[in-house]
Amino acid sequence: MELIRGLHNLRPQHQGNAITIGNFDGVHRGHQAMLAALKVHADSLNLPLMVICFEPQPQELLAAEQAPARLMTWRDKVEALRTAGVDRVLLVRFDAHFRAYSAQDFIESLLVDALGCRYLYVGDDFRFGCDRSGDQAALIAAGARLGFTVGQLPTITESGERISSTRLRAAVAKADFVLAEALAGRPFAVAGRVVHGDKIGRTLGLPTANILMRRQILPLRGVFAVEVYGVDPVQPEKPFPGVANVGSRPTVQGIQARCETYLLNFSGDLYGRRLRVVFRHKLRDEQRFPSLDALKTAIEADIAAGHDYFAV
């Protein structure tokens, strides 16, 4: 799969595509169904399948701190799109300049002139252009005039309700990991490299593997029973049970969100290792404790609960 970072990196060889557009946060089963259907059209037309994504996501620019939490990192999104059979991902910087594109500019300058769109797949609620002035009807009319076809995927449902990133995010926030897996087609997880922290856990005799969330705000907080992958370099898909705290660590005045994981029945150096933490069960909410001794007592209780959950 080819990743094109920015409109300035488009080249003549990137002309001619079957395209879909969106945040694709979570790359859930609805997204997967859209991509599978688009792949059929792309193959029939002998065209590459291109996904256009935005960074930051539009709501992160327009709504700032009120923007929804991301379900996955950019790296994990790219990998999920690759797995879904996407040939090209165009990452567009969503800034004030791009936001000012009129609906006509979006269609003619980007879709037609820059990308040579031949087939476009979008949902019926897709909006584009300055102030969301463009809609599917405008795309269909423009396609008839400019030579591309607009397709629409029927709604994909789970338990009678539409699958969406919003619904998936709500399931994760409520720690309904069974529903989240049904909606996403995979367990909910976070991934990243283990970094050096402030060694509070080690000071307490309870060392943790720390993964910074960087810009990502997670849709869940609290303490969870988790399975951790990537611990064993020889068997990276071997799961290790653990207990993870996700949040800003109020007791030690943490600021940046992080995932701190204590692995059960494990000792070793994981610094620099890329881990994937799969969430299985919520143990408790994040909370502030009056002292480090109280925090240690709570963590020890969390670890005991983790042992009970995994029966190890």
What digits encode the pLDDT tens for the residues 115-128?
A: 999 999 988 778 89
Residue in this structure with the two tokens 């190890």, named with its chain if needed? 312
Round the average pLDDT of the chain to a whole number and report it: 89
Q: What is the pTM of this model?
A: 0.89
Integer Cα distance of 78 and 73 in angstroms = 9
Percentage, residues of the chain above pLDDT 70: 93
Q: Please check whether residue 29 is in contact with residue 65, taking contact to mean a CB–CB distance below 8 angstroms.
A: no
- Please give the pLDDT value at position 201: 53
Candidates 124, 140, 270; CA nearest to 196 is: 270
| 203 pLDDT tier (thresholds 50, 70, 90) | low
Q: Considering Cα of 112, then 118, then 124, then 125, what sign does the dihedral take?
A: negative
Query: Which residue(s) pair with 284 in the sheet?
Result: 223
86-135, pLDDT tens digit by residue?
999 999 999 988 989 999 999 999 999 999 999 999 887 788 988 888 99
pLDDT at 81 over 70: yes
Model pLDDT, residue 57: 86
Q: What domains appear along the chain, each with residue ranges and CATH number?
A: 2-158 (3.40.50.620), 187-310 (2.40.30.30)
Paired tokens of 280: 């299985």
Position 252 confidence tier, pLDDT thresholds 50, 70, 90: very low
Q: For position 289, what pLDDT does the model report?
A: 82
Residues in a beta bridge with 55: 93
Mean pLDDT in residue range 54-69:
82
pLDDT at site 152 = 81
pLDDT band at 83 (very low <50, low <70, confident <90, very high): very high
Give the end-to-end CA distance of the chain in Å, rounded to a whole number.
41
Q: What is the pLDDT of residue 213?
A: 73
Please determine, for residue 249, whether its predicted confidence score (pLDDT) is greater than 60: no
Q: What's the CA gap between 102 and 112, in Å, rounded?
A: 14
Classify 262 as helix, strand or coil: strand
Return the pLDDT at 297: 87
SS3 79: helix
Q: Tell me which range, 135-139, 208-212, 222-226, is most confidently predicted by mean pLDDT.
A: 222-226
Is residue 49 a contact partner of residue 87, using CB atoms and an 8 Å limit?
A: yes
Cβ atoms 19, 50 nearer than 8 A = yes
Q: What is the pLDDT of residue 251?
A: 44
Only one residue has tokens 């476009």, namely 120
Q: What residues contact 70, with CB distance under 8 A and at least 6 apart?
A: 25, 57, 216, 217, 218, 219
